[in-house]
Amino acid sequence: MLTVTQLTKTFEAAHGEVRAIHNVSFTVKTGQFASIIGKSGSGKTTLLSLLGALDSPSSGKILVDEIDIARLSGHEQTNYRAHKIGFVFQHYNLIPNLTALENVMLALEFGGVPAHDRIERAIQLLSDVGLSSEEQKRKPGRLSGGQQQRVSIARALANRPAIILADEPTGNLDSETGKKIFDLLHSLSRSENTTILAVTHDLDIAGKTDRTFTLKDGTMLADKR
């Protein structure tokens, strides 16, 4: 269960204080697939940073399985990211000189999985997202965009996170591949019972998620169930 209460994030800018997120509150149940939509500058990315413990809020609470991540120390935030959060980025952000398999194993290493268990788990995850054993040995530069995003999803799932945060996961893919990736995320949220929160511009995709939140100027406008 993800519960966000009165979340506010402000930044100091040259022209004064900027409120990127203002009094945002919502709840997502475990295993739900939710989308966040909004125009550029509406605060989507900032919200994702706060939920992923990449940044700390100015005020408010973020409860993940009853733990307020807004109050975590730097070291605890890192630990939280390693075990409770999986990230899927628009530009995949795979480590270029590691193979697909090694990219997934890297997340497993940070999650504290023993070295001898990592390879087996990584192969299983990559197979689950549809990568052949030959493709698993390739470096990102020799994989298509869709394949890279699959690796990114496998990496996000590596440590069985409570939440997967996806930032425009289909934004860099053609519509057909984007649909496949969306379907993959959707099926994973069901099979792995993982909460997925995806930022997207694609209203078609947003329409297919369990819930859709709309942000405007840092404020939550609507919660469409």
Partner 1 sequence: MNVISRGVRNALRSPLKSGAVIVMLAVSIGLVLAMLVARSSVDAKISEIKATTATGITISPAGVQGGMGGGDALTADQVKTITATPHISSASSTLTDQLGTEDTNLISSLALGNLGQRQMRFEQKTDSAQTMPGGASGDTVPRKAMTPRTTVTGTSNATTIVKSDKLTSGAMINGNSEDLEALVGKTLAEKNNLSVGSTFTAYGKTITVKGIFSNGSVFQDSGIIMPLATVQTLTGQAGAISSVTAAVDSSDNVASVVTALKSALSDKADIVSQQEQAANSVKPLESIANLALTGVIGAAIAGAIIVLLSMIMIVRERRREIGVIKAIGGTNIKVIAQFMTEALTLTIIGGIIGLGLGVAVSGPITQSLVAGSETGGSAATRGQGSPQIRAGSFGGVSAQLRANVTSVTSTITPQIFMSSIGIMLLIAIIGSAVPAWAIARIRPAEVLRSE
| Interacting residues with partner 1 (CB under 8 A) | 45, 48-49, 52, 54-55, 75, 78-79, 81-83, 87, 89-91, 93, 95-98, 102, 105-107, 109-111, 115, 155, 159, 167-168
Q: Which is nearer to partner 1, 122 or 225 (CB)?
A: 122
CB 54 to partner 1: min, Å: 4
Q: Of 44 and 211, which CB lies nearer to partner 1 in the complex structure?
A: 44
The Cα diameter of the chain in Å comes to: 54
How would you classify the pairing of strands 211-216 and 33-38? parallel
Q: Which of residues 111 and 146 has its CB atom nearest to partner 1 in the complex?
A: 111
Spatial distance between the Cα atoms of 128 and 77, rounded to a whole number of angstroms: 29
Q: Where are the beta strands (DSSP E) in the chain?
A: 2-13, 16-28, 33-38, 59-64, 67-68, 85-88, 163-167, 195-199, 211-216, 219-224
Minimum gap (Å) between residue 49 Cβ and partner 1: 5
- State phi, psi for 175 to the nearest 5 degrees: -60, -40
122/131 with CB nearer partner 1: 122
